[in-house]
Structure 1
Amino acid sequence: MKKIKYTALFLLFISFMSCDNDTLEDLRERGQEESIELEAFTQGSADFSKYVSMGNSLTAGFADGALYKIAQENSMPAILAQQFAALGNGGTFTQPLMNDNVGGLLAGGTQIQGFGPRLVLDLSGPRPAPVPLQSLVPSAVPTTDIVLNNPTGPFNNLGVPGAKSFHLLAPGYGNIGALPNANPYFVRMTGTSPDASVIELAIAQQPSFVSLWIGNNDVLGYALSGGDGTNPITPLAGDIGVGFEATYQALIGSLTTNISGVQGILGNIPNVTAIPHFTTVPHNPVPLDAATAGAVNQAYMEYNGGLQLALANSLITAEEANARTINFEASSSNAVVIVDEDLTDLSGLGLPNFRQATEEDLLVLPASSFIGTLADPQNPLSVNGVAIPLSDKWVLTPEEQNEIKTATMAFNNVIETAAAASGFALFDANTLLDRVASTGVETNGLVITSTLATGGAFSLDGVHPTSRGYALVANEMLKAIDATYGSNFEASGNLVDVSTFSTTYSASLLE
């Protein structure tokens, strides 16, 4: 069987609204006669003179599976700082920039495992597809070394890719001597204070205005691992450093207690299951001819017969027996077979927890290059996703999705309560992503959607925004700041033009 790959690439359609009573010429003339008079800019009660941002990869500017220089320069806080400096008496904004646009980290000249170069778009095939940079440019190598060439702070952007809520309070999280438990990205920021926490480095700068967007990884890690338990959701309850609620309250308390009159904006957590990492690979990507389908069905005959025995003995319902029965057809769209731990345990009958996926299941993006490969290269029948069911790490079942939804709602309630209590603005990332994923967001003559590679919002890793996506986020933050502090970035026409920001960067961009 040929290796099955799937990359969703869709065309973008722009719709135009018509008016019953006006001709096109009427509208043109009206547009020439009427102009919108913008307000003069005011920053209201906000003090942008010293801005510090805290968070995870979404704050750092991570994109395309890596952190690299041009993406950092177009990160959400960098865009905010640009507007603050141009209009609101904002100061300088220093970021821990990578050395190159390759991405990836070295330690003493050796690439750190799991910290490789960025993804790029390969246009040479029948369909554009995300591929590792080095597959197109073999000579591209990382040059950022956490032992040999860390930049000098203090840094206004304290976004640490991979950080969960409790990591921002953790001493030693950026101590190179604590590797592998320390975070290599944060090692680059701590300088002469290797045991300082993220929150301590922020407080030391005594900012007038802060942004805090943290908590995404507290649920995303579980989702990216397919809910297999290797990266559990942070519990809501528990002590500081353990439970999300106490930890988040401690973060806000540290800022408001130790920085007199500090202002800021908090970001809540989006519905991570709506990102392209979980919506691109279909549940039914398996093409089979009649002969192959018959052979696979023969292999599952004993399993299906065992289900009927379990039904006869009232161990499962007829509904579950039907859901677990495996059947392939001569078709281009057979559903993959998965392991579902929430099915009734029939191990007493020697039956595993197998079923075919449905539209309710979400397959992770890396499954696109795994489904259809051979578990045993010497056995042409050992096809992953067909004869060999996909393990838990490849799919989010409805039960696992519900766990994520429940945790996200609870965490967002904590964040919203903290924003109200502290007087900080609130950026509703959850609502924004729902709009991007469901209808798209129209701005600056564009419709931005969550479709992988072509939608404009998400980079090639299917998780992190593009530079254009980060610009969209920055604008929404500016609107929220307007609402809380009386500034008027929006009404004065001083949101950024999202259309001027890139969605992809060429593989030739290395320096």
Structure 2
Amino acid sequence: MKHRSTLIFSYLPLLLLFASCSAELDAPRPFSGELSFGKYIAVGDGFTAGFMNGGLYREGQELSYPNLLVQQFRLINDIPFNQPLLPENGTGYLKLDSLLRQACDLVPPEPQVHKVPPSPHWKVTLETRPPFHNLAIPGLKIEQTLSATLHLENPFFRNMAQVPDTGGMAYDDWLARAKTDFFTLWLGTENVLNYALKGGESPGSELIKPDSFAYFFNQSLQALLAQDPSTPGLVANIPDVSHFPYFNTVGYLWVNRENCSGSTQPIYIQTSAGVRTAKAHERILLIADSLIHYQQLGLSAARPLPGNYVLDESELLYLRQMTQAYNEQIRLLVEAHNAHLPKARIALVDMYHELGLANESGLVVDGVPITAEYITGGMYSLDGIYPTPRGNAFIANIFIARINAFFKAAIPTINITDYNGVEFP
């Protein structure tokens, strides 16, 4: 037996060598395929900028999906990627203190959060200097991209694009100056999100017509391609924001947190047709939770929940129809551009479908769940809208999968367990 054991151990280094060789053969060496990763530009809104936990701050920016993408690109080529980093706390952000257990186990624990104060002068101060490669502006709607007064409406643009007080520069002007070898463009989500966050109530929530959306979107695309129409890139469409936890955490029936009877009561909402009880498929905004709990709004027909805290069935239908209409325009623009080139150079990334898989039924990725559950789902941060670091890693992998398929590349995906969901104290 001793002799046999000796033989086994004498072969062990050789076996390990073969196993190592096999692993190397199974994992292809990273390569860029048809792409040249000399200079990458990211275009978008808050989802691209790294907005997280209700604010834009240093950690969120450094964990934005474009920055995570670049880490994978650098396995092939050590490309530059400079972001317009705000001072450490930036605008301020939400931080989880604890989960307060309720008197009854029928009611989930209530998150206790506090707002980390903003850094002084975040509207006029940056920690890095241009030129920048992440040109994403939180809150940017597609119809604002040609506005020469955007710097007056959006402090992020004024600061990041270094717009002088006299103005005169539009977002698309900024894009046109950015020479690039490869780009990602993900715009339009803030349009539908703005409508949803206001419960579809006017003024201020109006959605532009699909043909107008197509015009502005195409202008941004052409600005990126001004230097070279054959520049390769990825264009992402718009997810169904109604599946975000901000719109799915407060149910249509209210459970009293002070008793364990298990009884529920309907929530009354104000609609354009009058006051009625909410329906199961309608969306009550997360911000309404405290109004119902502490002010008893919505618990009687005499004190209904105001319409700006609810997406009723007609508003929800309109939101989804417009999202699909915008996505159709994006698809047509990508197809039209590729049709004028000898070889297609822009790939469409179907965020509507890919995020829908996680949001509607949930996924298991790298052994961990990715769902739209508030706080525990891993995908969304404390604001219930923008991704966590883990969510950004998941999104980066969606882009990587499309790059590999369309441009015949072999860029390794990210292990999303290397990044946190919501951080617990």
Q: Same fold (TM over 0.5)?
A: yes
Residue number in structure 2 paired with 1:442: 364
Q: Distance in 2 between matches of 1:149 and 1:94?
A: 12
Matches within 5 A, 1:25-424: 37-87=26-76, 89-100=77-88, 102-104=89-91, 117-123=92-98, 125-126=100-101, 127=109, 129-134=111-116, 140-147=117-124, 151-174=128-151, 178=152, 182-191=153-162, 194-237=167-210, 243-287=212-256, 332-341=263-272, 343=273, 353-374=274-295, 383-386=297-300, 387-422=302-337, 423-424=345-346
Q: CA deviation at 1:229?
A: 1.8
- Residues in 2 aligned to 1:149 and 1:70: alpha-carbon distance in whole angstroms: 14
Partners of 2:257 and 2:347 lie apart in 1 by 54
CA contact (8 A) 1:218 1:234 kept: yes
**Helix, strand or coil at the partner of 2:326:** helix
Give the secondary-structure state (helix, strand or coil) at the position aligned to 2:395.
helix
| 1:462 CA displacement | 0.6
Aligned-partner Cα distance in 2 for 1:141–1:59: 21
Question: How many angstroms apart in 2 are the aligned matches of 1:132 and 1:425?
Answer: 41
Q: TM-score, normalised by structure 1?
A: 0.71
Deviation (angstroms), 1:90: 5.0
- Cα distance change of structure 1 residues 338 and 463 upon mapping to structure 2, 3 Å threshold: same
- Stretch of structure 1 that moved more, 439-448 or 195-204: 195-204
TM score, norm. by length of structure 2: 0.85
Contact in 1 for aligned 2:175/2:220 (Cα 8 Å): no
- State how far apart, in whole Å, the 2-side matches of 1:167 and 1:365 are: 27
Mark the structure with the bigger radius of gyration: 1
Cα offset, 1:130, TM superposition: 4.9
Structure 2 contact 380–422 (Cα < 8 Å) conserved: no
1:254–1:337 distance in 2 versus 1, CA, 3 Å? same
Secondary structure at the counterpart of residue 373 of structure 1: helix
Displacement, 1:233?
A: 3.9
Distance 1:269 1:141, change over 3 A: closer
Q: Taking structure 1 as reference, are residues 38 and 288 closer, same or farther at Cα in structure 2, changes over 3 Å only?
A: closer
Question: d(CA) in 2 for partners of 1:73 and 1:479?
Answer: 22
Question: In the TM superposition, what is the alpha-carbon distance from 1:204 to its structure 2 partner?
Answer: 1.2
Three-state SS of the structure 2 residue aligned to 1:123 is strand
Whether the 8 Å CA contact 2:157–2:163 is kept in 1: the answer is no
The runs of at least 4 aligned residues of structure 1 exceeding 6 Å deviation read none
Q: Which amino acid aligns with 1:248?
A: F
CA contact (8 A) 1:441 1:449 kept: yes
> Which residue is equivalent to 1:320?
none
Identity %: 28
> Shift of the alpha carbon at 1:85?
2.3
Structure 1, unmatched stretches of 5+, are 1-31, 105-116, 135-139, 290-329, 344-352, 375-381
Q: Residues of 2 paired with 1:282 and 1:506: CA distance? A: 24
Larger mean Cα displacement after TM superposition, 141-150 or 55-64: 141-150
Alignment partner, residue 351 of structure 2:
429
Q: CA separation of 1:437/1:288 partners in 2, compared to 1, >3 Å: closer, same or farther?
A: closer
User: How far apart, CA to CA, are the structure 2 residues paired with 1:125 and 1:331?
Assistant: 19
1:130/1:53 CA distance change after superposition, 3 Å: farther
Secondary structure class of the residue paired with 1:157: coil
**8 A contact 2:36–2:181 mirrored in 1:** yes
